[in-house]
Amino acid sequence: MHFNTHFNDIAQSYLFSTIAQKVAAYSAANPDKTILRLGIGDVTLPLAPAVIYALHGAVDEMSKKETFHGYGPEQGYDFLKESIRGYYRTNGVELEPDEIFISDGAKSDLGNILDIFAADNKVLVPDPVYPVYVDTNVMAGRKVEYMNATAQNGFLPMPDYSVDADIIYLCSPNNPTGAAYSKAQLKEWVDYANAKGAVILYDAAYECFITEEGLARSIFQIDGAKTCAIEFCSFSKTAGFTGTRCGYTVVPLALKRDGMSANKMWLRRQTTKFNGVPYIVQRGAAAVFTQEGQKQIKANIAVYQSNAKIIADCMDDLGIWYTGGKNSPYIWLKCPNGMDSWTFFDYLLENIQVVGTPGAGFGANGEGFFRLTAFGSPEVTKEAADRIKKLLSK
């Protein structure tokens, strides 16, 4: 018997687990210090009242014989798929119900989707990158190639026709850099993928933070995307579902290679390995798309956007270079005084007890950068900005 030796090729601990361990150790050694957490992108506002109301209603349904729900459809209930279709329509995208698969979150599906791809596919990811894209491929034994995302290209790498990729990961607005592709830029990627027969795995988890015109909210707003892309979405950042768990993946019926349908394979995969998201949670998720739900989640997103501005203003005051924050809940900044990412992490933790995420944790090009999240409470964000300002203007 042998275990999967590809696990020897990934870091021993997942980035955010490593950070949590470091912070826990610091906290245990310094119990009197108040730690301000702007590291992992976890939301802090409670679920919207419309969602809570729907969750309560669904719990009550489960208490009665007539309205009880056992196993549901593995790919999600029609009521939620219809709500999602309606939302896409507002962005000018028409989807078939069978193209939408409800899941327990984008992170799971981004890893699970690899079941439908061949082991020898060549994988292209930006550097820096959300570590899940890399680790899940390396665990499965695939080789990963990197494309440089740097300040020079606005952290938005564009296709290079001399590279033959099979699977391409794009995340926009981007985690960790906050950069977002325009529709024109995404069109270039779609054309490249169709020309090469590649598939784009498009992570749209941060779509709700887009404020500027001309940026894509879905890759399916781009002509030709349905023959080359799969889109991953989440209620986590949009509606505070990080602990409630719900997301969805759009696999177009038109996405076929060698006579095989990605949609049919994903359905086969999900019906075999997944029993669906709880009925109660799907009812809560559907409430996000009601008029009331939309109003309430937008109010919550506005709080996080105002937090992003607090952090951005702090960087402006200090003359620190940064990007993101505008169409994204992440501020991606250059570590001051030439510090490397982990040195800056320790410097902030030890001196002012502010936790962020070292850019180097997202890839080699992240070295010398640092990510702060806007998902804290306004109080914590202001306090963290004050502490950073005081420390760095010394």
Count of residues making up the chain: 394
The single-letter DSSP state of residue 50 is H
Tokens describing residue 110: 């981004």
Q: Is 36 helix (H, G, I), strand (E, B) or coil?
A: strand
- CA dihedral (375, 379, 382, 386) in degrees, to 10, reads -130
**DSSP code string of 337-388:** GG--HHHHHHHHHHHH-EE-EEGGGG-GGGTTEEEEES-S-HHHHHHHHHHH
Span from 40-48, 63-71, 84-92, 192-200 in contact with ligand MLT (CB under 6 A): 40-48
Chosen residue from 23, 36, 38, 40 binding ligand MLT by CB under 6 A: 40
247 belongs to the binding site for ligand MLT (CB under 6 A): no
Q: Is 26 annotated as a binding residue?
A: no
Select 108 or 351, whichever has its Cβ closest to ligand MLT.
Answer: 108
Span from 25-33, 34-42, 247-255, 343-351 in contact with ligand MLT (CB under 6 A): 34-42
The position carrying tokens 């270079």 is 321
- Evaluate the omega torsion of the peptide bond into residue 49 and state whether it is cis, within 30 degrees of 0: no
Tokens describing residue 93: 């995208």
Q: Is 347 annotated as a binding residue?
A: no
Q: Is 54 annotated as a binding residue?
A: no
**108: how many CB neighbours lie within 10 A of its CB?**
16
Q: Is 175 annotated as a binding residue?
A: yes
Span from 38-46, 80-88, 141-149, 206-214 in contact with ligand MLT (CB under 6 A): 38-46
- For ligand MLT (CB under 6 A), the number of binding residues is 6
Q: Is 208 left (phi over 0), alpha (psi -120 to 50) or beta?
A: alpha
Point out the residue whose Cβ comes nearest to ligand MLT. 41
Q: Is 206 annotated as a binding residue?
A: yes
Let me know: does 262 contact 250? Beta carbons within 8 Å. Answer: no
Tokens describing residue 38: 């702007």
Span from 39-47, 250-258, 264-272, 305-313 in contact with ligand MLT (CB under 6 A): 39-47
Q: Is 14 annotated as a binding residue?
A: yes
Select 42 or 188, whichever has its Cβ closest to ligand MLT.
Answer: 42
Q: Is 275 annotated as a binding residue?
A: yes
Mark 93-122 with x for binding to ligand MLT (rule: CB under 6 A) and - for no binding.
--------------x---------------
CB of 41 to ligand MLT, least distance (A): 3
Let me know: does 370 contact 384? Beta carbons within 8 Å. Answer: no
Chosen residue from 19, 37, 41, 209 binding ligand MLT by CB under 6 A: 41
Let me know: does 237 contact 257? Beta carbons within 8 Å. Answer: no
Q: Is 214 annotated as a binding residue?
A: no
CB of 176 to ligand MLT, least distance (A): 6
Mark 171-200 with x for binding to ligand MLT (rule: CB under 6 A) and - for no binding.
----x-------------------------
Q: How far apart are CA 114 and CA 340, in angstroms?
A: 33
Residues in contact with ligand MLT by the rule CB under 6 A: 40-42, 107, 130, 175
Task: Give the residue numbers of the binding site.
Answer: 14, 41, 71, 106-107, 130, 175, 206, 234-236, 245, 275, 371
